[in-house]
Amino acid sequence: HELVDLRVVGKIHDTLLLLEHPAVLTLGRHAEEAHVLATPAELAARGIETIRIERGGEVTYHGPGQLVAYPILALSRRGLLVRPLVRALELAMVDTCEAFGAAAGRRDGHPGCWCDPDGPAPRKIGALGIRVERGVSYHGIALNVDPDLADFALIDPCGMPGVESTSIAREAGRPHEVPSTDAVARAADVFARAFASRLGAHPVGEVPTPVAG
């Protein structure tokens, strides 16, 4: 929470962290243990840690080939409410998918980013879960660029049994075309600019390459 503390007292500006995590399952405030389908032994064998965190939402997988973005924003200083922030994050994910040839959209009542959101079997391509503390947002989104989709079979994505997870690479018909880290770096650049545009802001300087974290 160090960055949140610094933003609360004005020692840093609004910040967008861009990361690519090692394999981990995060359980939000509404998550149930039953949403994790793998046994502890199976997770250990695959080197996947399980962590309970403070964000909203349920269980989410993070891993290589996935872009994770955490907006550390002082909402009141921007005149920004939580719902418009969520919408900006969702639409920035949609913009990023479409920039790489993957059609996506929002799905009413189901936060995140979806392929064929109005069809009979929507596919989840991006997860969203934020928290606001002392007027500052943290946590954020996870967008599947080119991860190992088999790892998503370990969970009910955000507590929704039977929902298929997908990726930009799969939807665009270009799986594993480039190394996943390169693909995530390219997606990070597009996402950062799209998110800034959706907020009516502008990124300053170069968008950094996502770091492992």
Active site members: 158
Q: What is the DSSP string of 84-101?
A: HHHHHHHHHHHHHHHHTT
Cβ-proximal residues to 67 (8 Å cutoff; 6+ apart), any chain = 18, 19, 20, 96, 142, 143, 145, 184, 187, 188, 191, 210
Question: CA separation (Å) from 127 to 2, 9, 116, 144, 179?
Answer: 24, 29, 15, 9, 22
Q: What is the DSSP string of 159-171?
A: G-TTPEE--HHHH
CA dihedral (122, 126, 127, 130) positive or negative = negative
As given in the structure block, the two tokens for residue 162 are: 């039977």
